[in-house]
Structure 1
């Protein structure tokens, strides 16, 4: 292991230093093996990067502590490793990089608009979206499951925002450029940082135009609802509405698209899908397991506001601290047989949506969409098989797949039977 700088007193050394920032690590299974060794030998460790570095947190309890304690671990200097050493100019102004109590004021209007009643009322439209995406699988040929899943969030949240359907392919590309700027499928020739900047600019400009249009011609969509919301006795500013839309679209892209992909890779060719289909009472537990297994957002970064000790390791004020959600969700201290996809796993204390004040605001949409999706998938198809090598995203931010070729066989449903909800 690289020697820890004298200012970093780390009493435990990992057996082997692995560069957890390297996006190529996530195109295979190397990251999970590295996290397993760190959980065993160095649950709190200093990871040197160039002339800076960060503290790595891999255990479930420690991850929850960091994410809940916003007084000690601030989000306002950047929440992702691509901002390591740079800070975040949006800190304190955008919901994802604002600490309480201001965070609650930014989050409140959107949370009200995304009540469970509102989302449940959209269930039938979500079902129609899912059926349309899965329909080509019925022809018996090779089907790129990951490409279909990339379109799933847009078909749900894009419709809730009343974003023009002709814009969806462009928005899918831009959201993926934001979350996987290192992947050659989305990266511009100028490199990942240029890709990220360009995607951010284009998305914010797009939503600014949409918000302006809705002010003149409001409807009953989510953006129009936000235009009527207030906090601190005043309407939301256009910038606040744009920020909320951006956060929601990116969050939906991450949390909705990847759990089905991860489940398909893990379970295709096994009897588990048929077992799951035969037991509809396991729909919810199976969906929660898909979230744990996928852990689509791999990490969150925080910065210490004061000296703090975690697992006997002293972390100085001002240091970056990175919580690896994907590792915490395989913590042997919390999950029995963590490397088995168990549709009957309960309780399931995964933190795929985070924990604390920054708990994913779109979790209700994601859960309803995933329940509808797996209900339709299991009711309509069987005999899933991989038809080629899955291609993973080249990203240390998002665990996911770019391409996932599969085949399946349609189930024969009685004419009067509807897929369970």
Structure 2
């Protein structure tokens, strides 16, 4: 890694030996110490990546600038580091890799379908799922909290997309293989690349079949919304529909589980969870702090459309720029005592959902789901303790846990 700090800053030393792309870095506990040093010494730095390279942005203000300015920083060449130097074949067709104004035209109908009113209508169904997932915790034995949390968002998005319940476990495995192909938990014997290719192929084939069936029998689900959407006066093509189904499922299934996991890993065995339970008025603020603390999506990538400067550092047109959300959400200039999980944190302008035009379309669903989860968890149980060593996911895309054994007592 070659740091290119502004002239008023000192050059970076030890962090030069650390590869931010290495999934093992996050499996071993994350990059927060490295990011802290980069925020201080080189908030905009050039990183090597084999024969390629990218610009790393770790500060809050700079992250906001890059993510908001879609005219200077495009999403259409890929938004994740695993596409560095490859481009994204869905660019310009899939909502996640489309810039405004086309992005806005794709987003509008789906945003309406995911409105707070729609989500509130599903509140009791979500609550029933959460209660059932937490039921074994009452037995008193070790309970794999992370495994239960992985199933939770799939049940929610699976219901909203009208996907058969028997398919949900397979979809959990495939979505996690897409974002953690280096993790032995999901990796095929043929290796990470084969894992990624296979998972993508199976998910796209799955949705091709689902979309074909849904055309014959549409409903009021998210896939049926995609079937009726128009873009530039035409209906979406089958490929565009399948691509956006994949994006919606992936975005929901691999992120929502991680704020409760991160909160439990940090707070089990402390008095904070009982303090939180005793103050229901802190529910929303505590959920926002769990989102900041976890920052499930670790990074977003953009490409410059012209020569730009970020914090005085010149970046040529066509270069990749990677914003580390997890670092921005620990920026000391924005968050007081950022390495403390504070359920009373005010204000809390985290960017766990991103910012700007690509602000997570599922944020309302995620927030409602997490509020229900923490209400039921803290209302039904106390005495949370770790019952083993948590296992972090081996991924540079999603920060999270694959296993988190805990015990608790029923209230």
Matches within 5 A, 1:14-413: 14-16=12-14, 17=16, 18-411=18-411
* Range that drifts further, 350-359 or 104-113: 104-113
Q: Quote how far apart the aligned CAs of 1:59 are.
A: 0.2
Partner Cα distance (2:242, 2:129) in 1: 25
Aligned residues: 407
- Deviation string, structure 1 residues 25-69 (Cα, Å, up to 9, x no partner): 102335000000000111011111222211110000000000000
d(CA) in 1 for partners of 2:20 and 2:194? 22
**What is the Cα deviation at residue 76 of structure 1?**
1.1
CA contact (8 A) 2:150 2:254 kept: no
Alpha-carbon distance in 1 for matches of 2:221, 2:178: 25
Structure 1 residue 235, shift from structure 2 partner: 3.2
Q: Contact 1:10 / 1:45 at 8 angstroms: preserved in 2?
A: no
Distance 1:314 1:231 in 2: 36
Unaligned runs of 5+ in 2: none
Deviation digits for residues 85-105 of structure 1, max 9, x if unmatched? Answer: 221122112111111111112
Does structure 2 retain, via aligned residues, the 8 Å contact 1:308–1:314?
yes
1: CA distance between counterparts of 2:131 and 2:228? 33
Which stretches of structure 1, 4 residues or more, deviate above 6 A after TM superposition?
Answer: none
The DSSP-based 3-state class of the residue aligned with 2:396 is: coil
Q: For the residues of structure 2 that align with 1:15 and 1:339, how far apart are their CA atoms? A: 23
Aligned 8 A contact 2:142 2:406 in 1: yes
Q: Give the stretch that moved more between structures: 23-32 or 315-324.
A: 23-32
Q: Aligned to 1:388, what secondary structure does the other structure show?
A: coil
Per mean C-alpha deviation after superposition, the further-off stretch among 270-279 and 100-109 is: 100-109
| CA RMSD, 1 decimal | 1.4
* TM-score with structure 2 setting the length: 0.96
| Alignment partners' CA distance in 2, 1:28 and 1:337 | 23
For residue 140 of structure 1, report the CA deviation from its aligned partner.
Answer: 0.4
Q: Take 1:40 and 1:74, find their aligned partners in 2: how far apart are those partners? A: 27
| Preserved contact between residue 144 and residue 405 of structure 1 (Cα < 8 Å) | yes
Q: 1 CA distance for matches of 2:186 and 2:125?
A: 29
Q: Which stretch of the first structure deviates more once superposed, 231-240 or 122-131?
A: 231-240
Give the Cα separation in 2 of the matches to 1:79 and 1:222. Answer: 23
Q: Show CA shifts across 1:231-269 (max 9, x none).
A: 444433333322222111111123311000000001000
Q: Distance in 1 between matches of 2:114 and 2:5?
A: 45
TM-score of the pair, normalised by structure 1: 0.94
CA contact (8 A) 1:110 1:244 kept: no
Alpha-carbon separation, structure 2, partners of 1:191 and 1:66: 34
Q: Residues of 2 paired with 1:40 and 1:254: CA distance?
A: 31
Query: 1:328, 1:209 → 2: CA distance?
Result: 40
Q: Which stretch has the larger CA shift, 313-322 or 326-335?
A: 313-322
Q: Secondary structure at the match of 1:245?
A: helix
Q: What residue in structure 2 maps to residue 414 of structure 1?
A: none
SS in 1 for 2:106: helix
CA distance in 1, matches of 2:330, 2:283: 21
Q: For 2:384 and 2:134, how far apart are their aligned partners in 1?
A: 13
Q: Does 228-237 or 55-64 show the bigger shift?
A: 228-237
